[in-house]
Structure 1
């Protein structure tokens, strides 16, 4: 007779799921914070409703298409986690559920094809890099406007049309050296994640990040062996794929005291490595150490404290809370404090800041209609601030909100927190910052 199990249940086990499901008391505090419930008012498209479906499945209800659709419609934005008075770990529940969906639920052929395209492209920098040249030529030729007016891609696949619309205007792509030396006395040595979409579609953000860190006294190490952190795979239930990406990332950054991340989704995932690899004896301790060392850029700069002189930037900005920064990492005050410390810069708040913009990793590609509604809602709230510049700290949010602002005809530039700090520290001035963010 085997001895009874002691200690916490194994990750991914039925006992873990049962414990997590039992935490929900169905109070409804999550409802007004859930983007899809706000849009449609449907109980099964709320966290409480989805937990009910998860419980039904755990008791034997099969993963049919209607049930899976409700799980697919979830943005995993985690607004419900921060609003829950009972501490329900909905983020873990949806992660476990999506892994089971990926493993056991047969999707239609067209849906499988789109998903394979997404996950065979976006986590691979070399593939994205190979796409840059043709995509840049396509944009510069004006063919993009012709295709959008024709509606051709929309008829072929709404997801492909969404991918085409979301692509930002592409310029030259500066490459970072493997090491950027600190200005003045060195205060710290940090590793820097360049990211996949961030690295190839927003290389100026990485360049600004490295400059800001160097001006604040950091030696910046940019390992050539780094790849995707696994964020997209982790949040889509592709657990084995996420683990493989995580192991490679851990190896790349061992040897540095801090890993600075300027993409909210990536930073959130790296802090979750300890849970992702908890049941892997060869990697659990290394994953735990990496999670301890991972810091969002704003979080790290706030801990480090300012040294470089802030020069005036007479500009009014609206700050956007990326879900995986505010809800997942609890980083809210730090970026606002960094911006507020810049002379002559004014920060304005956006209404309903906790409602997701609709980006959510691959959500705006796989669920384009719902994402479009949320993007339009966010763009309206951004426009209402009257700000000249929107500041966002996640590439997905930047692409999503930029597209929605274009649909409104709103001429609001978008920049990363790093780019605003870089402009102030270098004394570039307001016009240069607005131009870079356009």
Structure 2
């Protein structure tokens, strides 16, 4: 059955009770009914009944972060995640955007899913960051006048290390092998946060896993899928399936990527050639924290006397239901203290490409999250998605707050290798 066949039931599941309102970031910001999940579902129903997509309708759909907090809070089981992805696909097919908007979107989708293009950007971007030009450009506000989206891209870029260490195609298990896993390295994660991938491979190996890292892997299609670019997403999905078909488990350390790969079974459900293969890949995809919790600890944890604030990435907590596992992994490290962030269910404003296409709303949400992170008085922010790390770190810097940011894998790596708190707090990308 196609998505369009499912649409009447999916829309009819919503009883307009309003339980979603306090969890919706845009409703929390603006208090506008049409910028709440039930308001957007009302607009979706209008479109399903034959109303063409107007500029105003599209603005409300574009303003949605796709964070899926409403899905978690809904007592009626409304599949808003499917609804917004179907609607975004309709928008991309039916609604003409302005030339400027199309240009920005094409630039993003022709850059971020391609590692070689990101790698080519690293050198010039690092030179720009270290030259002092970065400060002058920001003070001048010239990029914001040209395009708020360009200004957001420049502002969000993390400080870059000189080189990206190459991972081998196979990392052998330490001691007796307990499992063999494939590892997704991602796009932004691989080029802007290579330390996360290196730490992920080391931790898996220290916990007794042979780690297979296919050299030919590419983008999983997460950004395209969550932005309504279905054909593009399907092409990326097929390539990912071919790359990882031979492994029994795929470990993913980026929340958005893991969520997308678990959705492949839905994305390719109508393709008789790929449906079974997609379902098999989705079934064996695990988030890093999810997999390690299932596997159980073996390597000895050394003490890490550090206070951390753990951030729930939306595509981990809401889309994958992975909340307790990363907290349990962190809490099992001796002398480490985990502090909760207020309004943890409210998105930080990253949401894949949202902070690039809706920079003002994203900045407001980032500032809100930064206030709550700062209030924990933690020494380290732990997040499981590169977009969240960039978004919150940028918002904290705007407030003049300097706090180290790390992935769960990096914290575990520091403990298993006995690196100590200073090495953990000093780490960069």
Match of 2:360 in 1: 369
Aligned mate of 1:260, from 214, 232, 251 = 251
Aligned mate of 1:178, from 161, 169, 176 = 169
Match of 1:292 in 2: 283
**Equivalences for 1:131-150 in 2 at 5 Å?**
131-150=121-140
- SS of the residue corresponding to residue 211 of structure 2 reads strand
Match of 2:81 in 1: 91
Q: Distance between the aligned counterparts of 2:135 and 2:283, measured in 1?
A: 46
Match of 2:425 in 1: 434
Q: Distance between the aligned counterparts of 1:297 and 1:59, measured in 2?
A: 43
2:18 aligned with 1:54: no
Q: Distance between the aligned counterparts of 1:30 and 1:244, measured in 2?
A: 33
Match of 1:6 in 2: none
2:143 aligned with 1:188: no
Give how far 1:437 is off. 4.7
- TM-score relative to the length of structure 2: 0.99
Give how far 1:12 is off. 2.3
Q: Distance between the aligned counterparts of 1:384 and 1:173, measured in 2?
A: 34
Residue deviations 1:317-356 (CA, integer Å, cap 9, x gap): 0000000000000000000000000000000000000000
- SS of the residue corresponding to residue 387 of structure 1 reads coil
2:373 aligned with 1:382: yes
Q: Which runs of 5+ in 1 are unaligned?
A: 1-9
- TM-score relative to the length of structure 1: 0.97
Aligned mate of 2:394, from 384, 400, 403 = 403
2:384 aligned with 1:393: yes
Residue deviations 1:141-171 (CA, integer Å, cap 9, x gap): 1111111111010000000000000000000
- SS of the residue corresponding to residue 318 of structure 1 reads strand
- SS of the residue corresponding to residue 27 of structure 1 reads coil
Residue deviations 1:272-299 (CA, integer Å, cap 9, x gap): 0000000001000000000000000000
Residue deviations 1:389-428 (CA, integer Å, cap 9, x gap): 0000000000000000000010111000000000000000
Q: Distance between the aligned counterparts of 1:193 and 1:175, measured in 2?
A: 14
Cα RMSD of the aligned pairs, angstroms, is 0.7
2:323 aligned with 1:314: no
Number of equivalent positions: 428
Match of 2:330 in 1: 339
Residue deviations 1:112-138 (CA, integer Å, cap 9, x gap): 000000000000011001111111111
- SS of the residue corresponding to residue 24 of structure 1 reads coil
- SS of the residue corresponding to residue 121 of structure 1 reads coil
Aligned mate of 1:19, from 3, 9, 15 = 9
Aligned mate of 1:123, from 90, 113, 117 = 113
Match of 2:346 in 1: 355
Q: Distance between the aligned counterparts of 1:12 and 1:59, measured in 2?
A: 16
Aligned mate of 2:416, from 402, 416, 425 = 425
Q: Distance between the aligned counterparts of 1:25 and 1:19, measured in 2?
A: 12
2:213 aligned with 1:242: no
Q: Distance between the aligned counterparts of 1:418 and 1:93, measured in 2?
A: 33
Post-superposition, which runs of at least 4 consecutive aligned residues in structure 1 deviate over 6 A?
none
- SS of the residue corresponding to residue 189 of structure 1 reads strand
Give how far 1:11 is off. 2.2
